[in-house]
């Protein structure tokens, strides 16, 4: 995991470090095979081998006096597989969780998101040598069997503040 503490990489360039930190943390998770950055429409969703995946979209930037706050959206997605067999369990003959892997995906992808958010919360610009700070309480919205290949997972909004070394004078 890279440590973000180089004062030469501040402001706009620090965004690269934060994205790399997020990418490294996501890829270290067994429930994430690929990380992409850009517009969600740029992903080749037809490729089955890239799932489960995490995708980061940069939505906007707030230009504060001494900092920049980036509004990012993180998508954690996997493909829902539907079985033709009716689920059978000892206590629930009709199957509590249905005949797909939706709950499995939601559980695994929640783990991925929660671990990333916990990692981002470990730092604070004012009290450490790092160059970023999680600036909100992230909220994850459930994605349930969307797009052409029935994707499920979470869409999480994350705000990260970075120091801005460009003087206002």
* Residue 74 exposed, middle or buried by CB count within 10 Å (0-12, 13-18, 19+): buried
Q: pLDDT higher for 100 or 17?
A: 17
Q: What is the pTM of this model?
A: 0.79
User: What is the architecture of the domain spanning 11-163?
Assistant: 2-Layer Sandwich (3.30)
Q: Name the band, by pLDDT with cuts 50, 70 and 90, for residue 146.
A: confident
List the domain boundaries for the chain: 11-163
Over residues 124-151, mean pLDDT:
76
* Residue 104 exposed, middle or buried by CB count within 10 Å (0-12, 13-18, 19+): middle
Over residues 42-49, mean pLDDT:
68
Over residues 136-153, mean pLDDT:
86
Over residues 41-61, mean pLDDT:
82
Over residues 27-52, mean pLDDT:
83
Q: In DSSP terms, which residues pair with 141 in a beta bridge? A: 155
Q: Is the pLDDT of residue 127 over 90?
A: no
What angle do the packed helices 102-121 and 14-27 form, to 10 degrees?
Answer: 140
- Find how far residue 130's CA is from the centre of its chain: 20
Q: Are the C-beta atoms of residues 71 and 60 closer than 8 Å to each other?
A: yes
Over residues 21-44, mean pLDDT:
88
Over residues 121-144, mean pLDDT:
76
SS3 at position 26: helix
pLDDT of residue 97: 54
SS3 at position 100: strand
């Amino acid at each position: 995991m890279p440590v973000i503490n180089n004062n030469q990489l501040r402001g706009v360039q620090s965004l690269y470090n934060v994205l790399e930190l997020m990418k490294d943390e996501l890829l270290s998770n067994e429930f994430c095979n690929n990380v992409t950055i850009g517009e969600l429409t740029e992903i080749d969703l037809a490729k089955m081998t890239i799932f489960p995946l995490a995708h980061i979209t940069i939505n906007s930037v707030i230009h504060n006096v001494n900092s920049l706050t980036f509004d990012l959206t993180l998508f954690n997605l996997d493909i829902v597989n539907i079985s033709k067999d009716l689920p059978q369990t000892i206590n629930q003959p009709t199957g509590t969780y249905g005949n797909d892997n939706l709950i499995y995906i939601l559980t695994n992808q929640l783990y991925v998101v929660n671990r990333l958010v916990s990692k981002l919360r470990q730092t604070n610009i004012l009290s450490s040598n790092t160059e970023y700070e999680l600036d909100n309480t992230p909220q994850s919205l459930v994605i349930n069997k969307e797009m052409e290949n029935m994707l499920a997972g979470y869409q999480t909004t994350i705000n990260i503040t970075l120091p801005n070394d460009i003087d206002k004078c």
